[in-house]
Structure 1
Amino acid sequence: MPHQLETERLILRPFTPDDIPAAYPLVELYYKLGRAYWGQGYAFEAAVALRYFAFEDMRLHRIVTIADAANGRSLALMRRLGMTLEPAPPSWAGEMMGTVVNPKMRD
């Protein structure tokens, strides 16, 4: 299991090659920050580093993330990361999905 940092205020768990499905190389970016850490750029910095790792080192095709449609901060972060936002499937009522494709693997 990869190293996982989890406190009352912050959770960060990087992905490993074992997390990647062979048939469709993508990962979900998941983050959760305690309120004291909001608006300080931590989520953005971590996500940029993970995006680089996913695309450059792991050569993954895409990264996805899910957020509550009412969570403006998460949606803004997704946009800053260059993600395309779209409603998640109807069974995930009220959720938005962000996707960014590795620019080196676009058709």
Structure 2
Amino acid sequence: MTDIRTPRLLLRRWQDDDLVPLSEIHADPTVMRWIGDGTPRSLEQTAEDIEAWEEEWDEEGFGVFAVELLGSGELAGAVGLYVPSSPPEVEGQVAITWRMARVFWGQGYASEAAHATLEFALQDRGLDRIVAVCRTADTASSNVLDKLGMKAEGATMDPAHGHDVRLYGIDLTEFEG
């Protein structure tokens, strides 16, 4: 089992007790605005997400972590790695993603968790490159990507959801752990 500790967070694999708190995060339309097609997800869809993330862990050796606050044990959100199927420019590469409960926005948790995940990908898992797909209007996520040192590499439309997106990337040689 792979756990990562940061000064304030524990990034870990998913547990049964995480389903309800994550489904509450997924039910918030403000949180989900920038994710997928932008609609909230049900408890059943959230269970499917966790199952898919756990399968990716088993198949790829990486996946999406549960993000737990060290001080309280609360589930704050999710961060991790996945292999996108769209847009075509990043298909088959390894991408970073995150979502945090709105109550935890603006406190640096997304940046802290994403940095630890990027370090895990490039240094522990030996990946040479990580990409990110960010909706054009999602300035908060763009700011996190900038803090990670990821560089904008172009723009396109995500054919799966019809949104304009910016593409980001970072190579192992560019990462400052």
Could you tell me how far 1:26 is from its partner in structure 2?
A: 4.6
Could you tell me how far 1:55 is from its partner in structure 2?
A: 1.1
Amino acid at match of 2:25: R
Q: Are 1:45 and 2:112 counterparts?
A: yes
2:106 alignment partner, SS class: coil
Name the residue aligned to 1:99. 169
Name the residue aligned to 2:128. 61
Could you tell me how far 1:17 is from its partner in structure 2?
A: 6.9
- Provide the rounded CA distance (Å) in 2 between the counterparts of 1:79 and 1:9: 24
Cα contact 2:158–2:165 (8 A) shared by 1? no
Q: Are 1:36 and 2:131 counterparts?
A: no
Q: Are 1:79 and 2:146 counterparts?
A: yes
Alpha-carbon distance change, 82 to 17 in structure 1, aligned in 2, over 3 angstroms: farther
Cα contact 2:132–2:169 (8 A) shared by 1? yes
Unaligned runs of 5+ in 2: 1-11, 27-45, 62-82, 84-91
Could you tell me how far 1:19 is from its partner in structure 2?
A: 2.6
Could you tell me how far 1:18 is from its partner in structure 2?
A: 2.5
Cα deviation 1:32-66 (Å, max 9, x = unaligned): 11221111111111111111111111110111111
Unaligned runs of 5+ in 1: none
Alpha-carbon distance change, 81 to 17 in structure 1, aligned in 2, over 3 angstroms: farther
Runs of 4+ in 1 over 6 A off after TM superposition: none
1:82 alignment partner, SS class: coil
Alpha-carbon distance change, 17 to 100 in structure 1, aligned in 2, over 3 angstroms: farther
Q: How many residues end up aligned between the 2 structures? A: 100
- Provide the rounded CA distance (Å) in 1 between the counterparts of 2:158 and 2:60: 24
TM-score, normalization: structure 2? 0.47
